[in-house]
């Protein structure tokens, strides 16, 4: 048998417990792979069904849907079940974010002369990186909601808006069942959860 370093071992020299562990892992890996493939096929089928239903529904009103983007919630007639399709975009920022940071720093310097340094700390927090070196996009984008009528600030917010790059999208489908108290409980199809 081949070990993790690629070395060959005669089967007779391998302990029975190591052989049994290997067999257990291989058997369950086959089952897990088959389950993963089955879930992927199921998800693809459900997504296609939802898309076809949305197109059929829009067709009834003569509306042309513009692609597969968009979240949708579908309920059973009695409201007992619901399916949610959601599309999440993963975004990042290009080099224009650095320009926005310089402009924001200029604003902070002007606004905070003689005042408490906490203002700078709050805004700088939006540009902090996580352990993987990524900026929290929600915090940075949240700065755009602050309505400050300052030309430099407005240019910084424009730079942030223009620096946004959608790098990928991921589609999710979730299933829920209504409980006796009226709340919905998600049907767990995530094996890691």
Token couple for 136: 């929290």
| Confidence class for position 28, pLDDT limits 50, 70, 90 | very high
Q: What CA–CA distance (Å, rounded) separates 90 from 98? A: 19
Q: Which residues contact 111 (CB under 8 A, 6 or more apart)?
A: 119
Note the pLDDT of residue 193.
Answer: 46
Give the number of other CB atoms < 10 A from CB of residue 63: 10
Q: For 74-96, write each residue's pLDDT tens digit.
A: 999 999 999 999 888 888 888 88
pTM of the model: 0.61
**Helix, strand, coil % over all residues of the chain, rounded to 5:** 50, 20, 30
Strand order across the 72-75 sheet: 72-75, 81-93, 164-178, 184-186
């Amino acid at each position: 048998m081949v070990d993790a370093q690629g070395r060959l071992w005669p089967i007779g020299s391998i302990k029975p417990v190591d052989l049994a562990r290997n067999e257990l892992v291989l058997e369950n890996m086959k089952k897990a792979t088959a389950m993963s493939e089955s879930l992927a096929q199921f998800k693809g089928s459900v997504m296609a069904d939802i898309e076809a239903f949305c197109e059929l529904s829009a067709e009834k009103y003569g509306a042309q849907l513009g692609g597969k983007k968009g979240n949708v919630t579908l309920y059973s007639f009695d409201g007992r079940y619901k399916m949610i399709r959601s599309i999440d975009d993963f975004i990042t920022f290009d080099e224009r974010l650095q320009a926005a940071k310089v402009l924001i720093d200029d604003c902070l310097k002007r606004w905070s002369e003689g005042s408490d340094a906490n203002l700078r700390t709050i805004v700088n927090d939006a540009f902090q990186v996580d352990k993987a070196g990524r900026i929290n996009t929600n915090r940075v984008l949240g700065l755009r909601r602050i309505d400050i009528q300052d030309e430099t600030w407005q240019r910084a917010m424009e730079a942030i808006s223009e620096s946004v790059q959608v790098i990928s999208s991921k589609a999710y489908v979730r299933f829920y069942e209504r409980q006796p108290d009226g709340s919905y409980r998600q049907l767990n199809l995530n094996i890691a959860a």
